[in-house]
Structure 1
Amino acid sequence: MFIAVLQNLLNYALPVKDNTFNMSYDVIEHFSSDILSTTGYDCIIQHLNNGRKNCKEFEDFLKERASIEEKYGKDLLNLSRKKPCGQSEINTLKRALEVFKQQVDSVAQCHIQLAQTLREEARKMEEFREKQKLQQKRTEILMDAAHKQKSLQFKKTMDAKKIYKQKCQDKDEAEQAVHRSANLVNPKQQEKLFVKLATLKTTVEDSDKTYMMHISTLDKIREDWQSEHIKACEMFEAQECERINFFRNALWLHMNQLSQQCVTSDDMYEEVRKSLEACSIEKDIAFFVNNRKTGQTPPAPIMYENFYCPQKNTASQGKAPGPNVARRGPLPVPKSSPDAPDYSLVDDYSLIYQ
């Protein structure tokens, strides 16, 4: 991918003889044929920097989600442990409520644990991001040096070309001067012009050699830069593949963790549902009646009493007439004598057990 970008940069405006790099002309339009241009390289670096920025954003997202999960877990834990919820219930419903509070407590602990897991995933993302940053930095240092060397050599070459061009122009002017003054100056002046022309020819030859030397050096530097650039692009492409794969797997794992949290919570809620299925309305009511009963005799009706004729009210207040109303009978006669073991004597007193 990145090699194709580099190749597009190097082969701008040149015919494509093969499709080794699967070049795309819409990509070519984004680059320049200028030897000093770093447009393609800068584009790749910007893309890699954006990739690390995206990793940082996901890392911050995980940290924020962890804070939310932790706060929710702690709030749920406080709610489960401190807030009363049906504390006066009895029997099967009481047991169901106890299971409910236990499972809510467990769900809260799961959310707190999930927060710790998310922070660990954020730490892994940070370590991966920093590792790629260092890898990219090492390659950038080499490429920056190559770009600087190429730029400096290009400047030297252009300066040598400028000098060579100027010397050639000076030589041409000297030759023209010799031709123009062939019949106008004396032999001594003519000799000076020839000497000057010869000197300029030597200077042109020297500047030409210097210019050619710089061209050769620049081409060698360009080839070295191109080789380093290809290596950098290969490294950047491998790094980007690794980043996308790591990012994708991290997001996939995050979804699995959230799904597992839901499954775990549902399993805990299922325990509450099972305990509610074991809750019996009849048993709870019977349990209440058996443990809190106060008696089977209802109160007797209140009878009317005439203030002026109390003797006519033969029925005692608080006694219910009728054959179905239970009445207290006379006290039983003790069957034991005072000398029997049923009697306990303490000094001059006797206590009878009835």
Structure 2
Amino acid sequence: MTSQGRGSRLWQKCTQTDNNCHFSIKMLHFKDFFWSSDLTCTSGYGVIVQYLNDGKRTCKEVEEFIRARASIEEKYAKDLLGLSKKHIKTISGHIQITMKEEVKKMEEFREKQKEARKKLEQHMEALHKHKSTQLKRTMESKRMYEQKCIDKEEAEQNVNRSSSGTKHMEKLCAKAQQAKVNAVEADRIYHQSVMSLAKIRDDWLKEHIKACEVFEKQAADRINFVRNTIWTHLNLLSQQCVSTDELNEEVRKSLEKCDIQEDIEHFVKLRRTGDKPPAPVLYENFYSGQRVPPKLPPPLIKACPSTHRAAGVQDEAYSVVHF
């Protein structure tokens, strides 16, 4: 079985396991576990955003890794050009081209998620700011309301405790009446502020849930995309090994047909320069003008088994050579 086939089966097994897990356990979602009892607290939202930032950084790291690997494969393919045949260069070239395509896809995916997140994060930040501002107004109106209520009670107590004349009593009553009006107005403003905050809170809750769902979907898409990219990358490397081994097998089969003697004979027939050696260089007697082939030394005459006697041969023409 090829590595690509093994990769496909393992991928199917992994996917089936994930699907079974979805049915066997209760799935956890962002929208259910990132709240806070403090209305102004955004720690849960911040944790999600940080998680997405970490995921974006992971995408960038994988993208840079594949880009670097593609650059190495490209240089490797160029180096092989001077050492190997064209079919090996084609394999290496195909790998680096495929890796560059994967890098481009990951870059596009990352930028797409970045733009979608940017709009949503800006919207949520505006809601957080609006919510905090309205909460401050509500707390301020509550403080004013409580103070007006205290003023009203004090004015009424002054009226009840007073034993002064009619004029002073009228002043106290008028002051108490005005304090009552102020308290009623403060109560209205406070109640209205609370109602406005309640509406803002409801809107924020809905938008927070939507944002959690979008962020969770982005996280799931990112995990799936990165997993698929790495899986494809590894399959590509495995396929490169398989292809290289197939080419090596072709070479091995070619080597099995190699016949040493036949190769030597082929070279001889193809590049031979002649089948006769050069003639010996003849001795030329300066005085006779004749070419006399050099004589070999005479055979030795054995005088006895243990002794040898050198024989001299005299060239009749000119020289005498002693051996």
> For 1:157 and 1:203, how far apart are their aligned partners in 2?
17
The alpha carbon displacement at 1:41 in A equals 0.8
Residue 279 of structure 1 aligns to a residue in which SS?
coil
Take 2:29 and 2:260, find their aligned partners in 1: how far apart are those partners? 76
Give 1:234 deviation, angstroms.
1.2
Q: Which residue of 2 aligns with 1:58?
A: 62
The residue aligned with 1:226 is 205
| Alignment-derived partner of residue 44 in structure 2 | 40
| Letter aligned with residue 193 of structure 2 | H
Distance in 2 (CA, whole Å) between partners of 1:166 and 1:5 is: 42
Contact 2:70 2:100 in 1 (8 A): yes
Match of 2:242 in 1: 263
- Whether 1:132 aligns to 2:113 is yes
Alignment of 1:7 onto 2:12: no
Tell me which residue corresponds to 2:137: 156
Contact 2:30–2:216 (CA under 8 A) maintained in structure 1: no
Tell me the distance in 1 between the aligned counterparts of 2:31 and 2:313.
126
Distance between the aligned counterparts of 1:114 and 1:49, measured in 2? 30
Structure 1 residue matching 2:296: 3-state secondary structure: coil
Match of 2:191 in 1: 212
Structure 2 residue aligned with 1:275, among 221, 235, 254? Answer: 254
Give the deviation of 1:177 after TM superposition.
2.8
Residue 288 of structure 1 and its aligned partner are, at CA, apart by: 4.7
CA separation in 1, counterparts of 2:42 and 2:220? 23
Q: Of 119, 129, 150, which residue of structure 2 is paired with 1:169?
A: 150
Structure 1 partner of 2:97:
116
How far apart in 1 are the matches of 2:132 and 2:250? 73
Please give the TM-score of this superposition, normalised by the length of structure 1: 0.68
Q: 1:310 aligns with which of 305, 309, 315?
A: 315
Query: Does residue 200 of structure 2 align to residue 200 of structure 1?
Result: no
Identity %: 47
- Structure 2 distance, partners of 1:9, 1:260, is 44
Q: Extract unaligned runs of 5+ from structure 1.
A: 11-31, 81-100, 312-354
CA distance in 2, matches of 1:160, 1:40: 28
Contact 2:155 2:172 in 1 (8 A): yes
Contact 1:167 1:200 (C-alpha < 8 Å) held by counterparts = yes
CA offsets per residue over residues 109-137 of structure 1, 9 Å max, x none? 32122111111110000001111111112
Measured against aligned partners, the alpha-carbon deviations of 1:85-114 in whole angstroms (never above 9, x if no partner) come to xxxxxxxxxxxxxxxx43xx4223321221
Aligned to 1:67: 71
Pick one of 213, 223, 228 that aligns with 1:244.
223
CA deviation map 1:131-171 (0-9, x unaligned): 11111122222212221221121111111111111111222
Aligned partner letter, 2:226 = F
2:312 corresponds to 1:287 = no
Q: 1:262 to 1:4 in 2, by over 3 A?
A: closer
Structure 2 CA distance for partners of 1:4 and 1:287, relative to 1, 3 Å: closer
Tell me how far apart the structure 1 counterparts of residues 228 and 238 of structure 2 sit (CA, whole Å): 15
Shift of 1:310: 3.2
Partners of 1:169 and 1:259 in 2: CA distance: 81
Match of 2:20 in 1: none
CA distance 1:220–1:302, shift in 2 (3 Å):
farther
The answer on whether the counterparts of 1:164 and 1:204 sit within 8 Å (CA) in structure 2 is: yes
> CA separation in 2, counterparts of 1:8 and 1:286?
83
Q: Within 1, Cα distance between the matches of 2:241 and 2:275?
A: 49
Distance 1:150 1:142 in 2: 12
- Check conservation: 2:31, 2:213, Cα contact below 8 A: no
Quote the offset at 1:7 in angstroms.
3.3
Q: 1:261 to 1:4 in 2, by over 3 A?
A: closer
C-alpha separation in 1, matches of 2:153 and 2:143: 15
What is the distance in 2 between the residues matched to 1:112 and 1:189?
103
- CA deviation profile, 1:296-321 (whole Å, cap 9, x unmatched): 9xx9x97216765336xxxxxxxxxx
Say whether the 8 Å CA contact 2:67–2:100 is kept in structure 1: yes
Return closer, same or farther for 1:302/1:203 CA change in 2, 3 Å cut-off.
Answer: farther
Matched residues in 1 for 2:39 and 2:31: separation?
12
AA of the residue aligned to 2:177: A
Mapped to 2, the partners of 1:9 and 1:270 lie a distance apart of 58
| RMSD value, Cα | 2.8
Distance, in Å, in 1 between the alignment partners of 2:127 and 2:142 is: 22
2:34–2:45 Cα contact (<8 Å) kept? no
Residue 289 of structure 1 and its aligned partner are, at CA, apart by 5.4
TM-score normalised by structure 2 residue count: 0.74
d(CA) in 1 for partners of 2:194 and 2:80? Answer: 75
- Tell me if structure 1 keeps the 8 A contact 2:30–2:213: no
